[in-house]
A and B are shown apart, each in its own frame.
Chain A
Amino acid sequence: MIRASELSVSLAGRPVLHGVSFEAAPGRMTAIVGPNGSGKTTTLKAISGELHLTKGKVTINGRDIARLKPWELALKRGVLPQSTVISFPFTVREIVGLGLSTSGAEVAGNDRTVDDALEAVDLAGFSGRFYQELSGGEQQRVQLARVLCQIAAPVSDGEPRYLLLDEPVSSLDIRHQLTIMQLARQFCEQGGGVIAVMHDLNLTAMFSDQMVMMKAGRIRACGAPKDVLTDETMEAVFGCRMQVGIAPARDVPFVLPQTASL
């Protein structure tokens, strides 16, 4: 369980988060949604431990992350950033392999693990390519493969592990959006936990168990997608008057921009 309690964060002296609290249970996929600048990424960064909290605390499996060493944290959770610019000519295999070598888990089966991770993100056969020559979406998937090398097993030593994903599908085509969301889903089903910052409300509704909807650094709604994604929250949070529909076959809510009254 990752538990964020009363998180407050200031960036460059400006308060960005105001008392954000929620829980992300293992086996469940938690999605953080909200308009641009609502504090989604900042929340994820606070949970990853890279930001200084002005108030509140984050625990991971009951342990305060402020008291964990970087390498202890690295064994409990992996983080996928929004985008990564690299100015050195690494090959794809070398980048993905970084996930292994820094977690101290370097063993004989290395190449197998790297190949498996690349296969999982549908990049089999890309290991010899240069990272800088790939498209944005491909680079994003290479980074995800690296994170999967760091956090290979969803459960280790009886403890669930977590993936923190910052807009994992934002620059992907629709097929790879589904591939990656399914991958995250699978990680949850095997006992791990996922917290993802998402923009696509429909993918979120389809794949997540819990939606955390933020506005202006505060949580405005939290719960199952069916309860969070309503006409009222769409208007209150996004300022869009639109109708939320329900896809009958799956009992999953969806929103179409065509329903908005502009």
Chain B
Amino acid sequence: MPRSEALSGARGRALAASIAHARREGDRSGLARMLIAALAVLAAATFATSIMTGAADASLGNVVRWLAGETAADQALSMRDRIIILDIRLPRAVLGMLVGAALAVSGVVMQGLFRNPLADPGLVGVSSGASLGAVLLIVLGSTAFGPVFAIFGFYALPLGAFCGGLITTMLLYRIATRSGQTSVATMLLAGIALGALASAVTGVLVFIADDKQLRDLTFWGLGSLAGANWTKILAAGPIILLSLGVVPFLARGLNAITLGEAAAFHMGVPVQRLKNIAIFSVAAATGASVAVSGGIGFVGIVVPHLLRLVIGPDHRYLLPASALLGGTMLIFADMLARTIVSPAELPIGIITAFVGAPFFLWVLLRRRSNMGL
């Protein structure tokens, strides 16, 4: 090799090294912050768009002016527009944001806890357990569980779903985890078994349900935001927001626990407490979501996985980014659901399954080639 070329090669390497040092190779925190900001903008834009789109033509501009008190006589907001936007589309978008964020964040927390990117509340039976809890309350609400409704009012359903989700998550963790290591196969299979068991019990309850209860129940199977109203938001919102508020404090612990429970303990993490809080918040967020929107699958697996490809698995950034993208994606899916076959509506669960199931298979195949699952 000519001397000059060798020199320039060395200089090039030195330059590359200094550039690498300047942007600290392997550090994706700057990128993650930028992405979170972009996702926040995207979420706001999607939220606004969803309020403006729908079968009926109701302009957002009019609403904003009406809210600002600038209603001139010629621009008076029609009663119909007000109802469509404030009582139908707005609660629907708010619920979509809440449920999407809850599902995506539950996915992240479960995946961190199980050290496994395929864990998802819907997939491993937690949603089925939560459904069972809610269905139990609907069917036996007038008899055995009557007092529950009397005491908790409209919080009874989210509470029932929460208990169902909690029991399933704890069972799953106990079954799939041996001496601090969680087996992928055991977790997925145990999840299928628990989900099937919960569905079987739900089936029995549907069998003994009366006609009015049946109408209420059909809705659980499909998963939809169609029933969104302010009462549901009042019932599920506080629970979801509370669990979303707790989860950021778990970020460092979840980072550590990806190295294994023993390693996390060595690094100073109170592992048992972390697990308890994580399981509790997953059950609460999933339970509340299931109670108001039924079983919407795959959000918890698609969103975190996509984000990990870009910003990596650091939970300090992954959690907020997942909340934003989860909410955005669910609102977007809901817009599709109510415009594709307009003026009729598809259940949103169908759309998330059409996107999510192939995605899950793709992840599975990729992992199989990478690490022999």
Q: Which residues of A contact B (CB under 8 A)?
A: 45, 48-50, 69-75, 78-79, 81, 84-95, 98-99, 101-104, 111, 125, 127-129, 132, 150
Contact (Cβ within 8 A) A98 B267: yes
Known A-B contacts A90-B312, A94-B312; A69 and B270 likewise in contact (beta carbons under 8 Å) = yes
Known: A84-B260, A91-B27. 6 other contacts (CB 8 A): A50-B265, A88-B308, A90-B313, A94-B314, A102-B267, A128-B26
Closest to A99 in B: B267
Contact (Cβ within 8 A) A91 B28: yes
Alpha-carbon distance between A94 and B312 when the two chains are bound, in angstroms: 9
Interface flag for B115 (CB, 8 Å): yes
Contact residues in A for B265 (Cβ distance below 8 Å):
49-50, 70
Contact (Cβ within 8 A) B25 A93: yes
For B267, give its contact among A74, A89, A90, A93 (CB under 8 Å).
Answer: A74
Interface flag for B370 (CB, 8 Å): yes
Contact (Cβ within 8 A) B26 A127: yes
Contact residues in A for B259 (Cβ distance below 8 Å):
84, 86, 95, 98
Known A-B contacts A87-B116, A94-B26, A98-B256; A81 and B263 likewise in contact (beta carbons under 8 Å) = yes
Contact residues in B for A103 (Cβ distance below 8 Å):
267-268
Closest to A101 in B: B252
- Our count of residue pairs bridging A and B at CB distance below 8 angstroms stands at 106
Alpha-carbon distance between A73 and B269 when the two chains are bound, in angstroms: 10
Interface flag for B229 (CB, 8 Å): no
**Smallest CB separation, B319 vs chain A (Å):** 14
Contact residues in B for A70 (Cβ distance below 8 Å):
265, 268-271
Max chain B C-beta neighbours (<10 A), residue from A48, A86, A87, A104: A87
**Can you list 14 A-B contacts (CB < 8 A)?**
A70-B265, A74-B267, A75-B268, A81-B263, A87-B117, A87-B371, A90-B313, A94-B26, A102-B268, A102-B269, A103-B268, A127-B26, A128-B25, A132-B371
- Digitize B263-296: 1 where CB-to-A-CB distance is under 8 Å, 0 elsewhere: 1111111110000000000000000000000000
Alpha-carbon distance between A72 and B266 when the two chains are bound, in angstroms: 10
Alpha-carbon distance between A209 and B129 when the two chains are bound, in angstroms: 57
Contact residues in A for B252 (Cβ distance below 8 Å):
101-102
Contact (Cβ within 8 A) B24 A111: yes
Alpha-carbon distance between A77 and B272 when the two chains are bound, in angstroms: 20
For B266, give its contact among A50, A69, A89 (CB under 8 Å).
Answer: A50
Contact residues in A for B313 (Cβ distance below 8 Å):
88-90, 94
Alpha-carbon distance between A103 and B267 when the two chains are bound, in angstroms: 6
Known A-B contacts A127-B24, A132-B371; A79 and B266 likewise in contact (beta carbons under 8 Å) = yes
Contact (Cβ within 8 A) B258 A90: yes
Alpha-carbon distance between A21 and B269 when the two chains are bound, in angstroms: 28
Alpha-carbon distance between A220 and B252 when the two chains are bound, in angstroms: 42
Alpha-carbon distance between A92 and B255 when the two chains are bound, in angstroms: 14
For B20, give its contact among A87, A91, A128 (CB under 8 Å).
Answer: A128
Interface flag for B262 (CB, 8 Å): yes
Contact residues in B for A92 (Cβ distance below 8 Å):
26
- Digitize B337-364: 1 where CB-to-A-CB distance is under 8 Å, 0 elsewhere: 0000000000000000000000000000
Closest to A150 in B: B267
Contact (Cβ within 8 A) B28 A81: no
Alpha-carbon distance between A167 and B316 when the two chains are bound, in angstroms: 32
Closest to A88 in B: B313
Contact (Cβ within 8 A) B258 A88: yes
**Smallest CB separation, A94 vs chain B (Å):** 6
**Smallest CB separation, A69 vs chain B (Å):** 7
Contact residues in A for B256 (Cβ distance below 8 Å):
98, 102
- Digitize B6-23: 1 where CB-to-A-CB distance is under 8 Å, 0 elsewhere: 000000000001001000
Alpha-carbon distance between A95 and B256 when the two chains are bound, in angstroms: 9
Contact residues in A for B253 (Cβ distance below 8 Å):
102
Closest to B20 in A: A128
**Smallest CB separation, B4 vs chain A (Å):** 25
Contact residues in A for B17 (Cβ distance below 8 Å):
125
Closest to B314 in A: A94
Alpha-carbon distance between A85 and B263 when the two chains are bound, in angstroms: 11
Return the 8 tightest CB-CB contacts between A and B, nearest first: A74-B268, A93-B26, A128-B25, A88-B313, A91-B26, A71-B268, A79-B266, A127-B26
Max chain B C-beta neighbours (<10 A), residue from A70, A74, A81, A101: A70
For B27, give its contact among A49, A79, A93, A129 (CB under 8 Å).
Answer: A93
Known A-B contacts A111-B27, A127-B24, A127-B26; A78 and B266 likewise in contact (beta carbons under 8 Å) = yes
Contact residues in B for A102 (Cβ distance below 8 Å):
252-253, 255-256, 264, 267-269
Contact (Cβ within 8 A) A94 B28: yes
Contact (Cβ within 8 A) B370 A132: yes
Contact residues in A for B269 (Cβ distance below 8 Å):
70-71, 102
Alpha-carbon distance between A95 and B258 when the two chains are bound, in angstroms: 10
Contact (Cβ within 8 A) A89 B270: no
Contact (Cβ within 8 A) B26 A48: no
Alpha-carbon distance between A35 and B231 when the two chains are bound, in angstroms: 67
Contact residues in B for A78 (Cβ distance below 8 Å):
266
**Smallest CB separation, B32 vs chain A (Å):** 11
Contact residues in A for B266 (Cβ distance below 8 Å):
48, 50, 73-74, 78-79, 81
Alpha-carbon distance between A79 and B261 when the two chains are bound, in angstroms: 13
Alpha-carbon distance between A29 and B259 when the two chains are bound, in angstroms: 26
Contact (Cβ within 8 A) B117 A129: no
Known A-B contacts A50-B265, A84-B260, A102-B256; A89 and B308 likewise in contact (beta carbons under 8 Å) = yes
Contact residues in B for A86 (Cβ distance below 8 Å):
115, 258-259
Contact (Cβ within 8 A) B117 A93: no
Contact (Cβ within 8 A) B115 A87: yes
Alpha-carbon distance between A84 and B260 when the two chains are bound, in angstroms: 8
